[in-house]
Structure 1
């Protein structure tokens, strides 16, 4: 049974939910371990057959801990089978939901010394009732500007689950 490390940097839990879906899609032939990348874990890359990193975008940025992790583990990331995906609300729109068309993925690839060979971009979820007052106001403002949902009583999941499952299959074949 191959060991797989699923590293996440999640703001509100949607990245973790996506990782769990990928874990389920991978099936019983893989032993998956889910770890919070924001804790800057020490990883023994040799323990794992493959690694997947998923990170969410908040206010236009990936978490700084992601970049710290990459800086500390760059040699290992380059040597091993490591895939990457980012999660953001902009990806709810056609034409902004692929590694080639996502401004956030382009920004990541420009800033990061690590260039993952396997990449994906997924739409996240809008969870107004769960946000703090400040986040609710700011995210509503951003959604108004971008033509998104502004009713703060709603929760909307934009994640394309068949696309996530397809990526999980690509990750298996990677």
Structure 2
């Protein structure tokens, strides 16, 4: 199980790292979050390499033993997107031995009691089932944009929202992401000093 990063520090990283930022994004919110994290890591002098996951067959970086890998994945209809699940399954041994961090994006995290790695069912279930052992992880709420959804998706998401007592107005577009939490996670990653093999 991943650990919560230690409390935030005012110190800045004195040992810049290379960060690979791997992600899949269905409606764009996960990409937006990874972009925010990247900007903060860059402000702290880290090197960034984006690794969009479109199939899950993407190769691991050759210098993974000298770098850090952050993986971001949204939940769609109860499951993290296939490319991320496949990427982790295909590379599980190497990922568990590497310096990895992971974040999940799901609408359940809009609720205060379900927005941490310890309380978010989607994240906990995924980590147990996949046997993925990131060193650090976080969970962030995503966004609802009913006007942009296809009719079938809109109906399904409204049903899910109704079951979880969320908004169902088909004209509604709302961002639930707690950007302060994203910023805090990114700052903690920026001062993370992982052990190097």
Task: Tell me the TM-score normalised to structure 1 length.
Answer: 0.93
- Quick one: which of 6, 21, 27 aligns to 1:12? 27
Contact 2:38–2:48 (CA under 8 A) maintained in structure 1? yes
> Which position in structure 2 is the counterpart of 1:149?
167
Higher-strand-fraction structure: 1
CA separation of 1:45 and 1:170: change in aligned 2, threshold 3 A: farther
Higher-helix-fraction structure: 1
Shift of 1:84: 0.2
> Which position in structure 1 is the counterpart of 2:103?
85
Distance in 1, matches of 2:48 and 2:127, equals: 26
Shift of 1:11: 1.5
Distance in 1, matches of 2:132 and 2:166, equals: 32
Computing the radius of gyration from Cα coordinates, the structure with the larger value is 2
Contact 2:42–2:48 (CA under 8 A) maintained in structure 1? no
Whether 1:167 and 2:182 are equivalent positions in the alignment is no
- SS of the equivalent of 2:32 reads helix
Q: How does 1:14-163 map to 2 (within 5 A)?
A: 14-28=29-43, 29-40=45-56, 41-46=58-63, 49-163=67-181
Distance in 1, matches of 2:85 and 2:31, equals: 19
CA separation of 1:75 and 1:93: change in aligned 2, threshold 3 A: same
After TM superposition, the structure 1 stretch with the greater mean CA deviation from structure 2, 12-21 or 38-47, is 38-47
Shift of 1:45: 4.3
- SS of the equivalent of 1:67 reads helix
Shift of 1:18: 0.3
Task: Tell me the TM-score normalised to structure 2 length.
Answer: 0.83
After TM superposition, the structure 1 stretch with the greater mean CA deviation from structure 2, 118-127 or 67-76, is 67-76
Distance in 2, matches of 1:42 and 1:8, equals: 13
Distance in 2, matches of 1:169 and 1:51, equals: 15
Shift of 1:98: 0.6
Contact 1:98–1:120 (CA under 8 A) maintained in structure 2? yes
The number of aligned residues is 174
Distance in 1, matches of 2:62 and 2:38, equals: 18
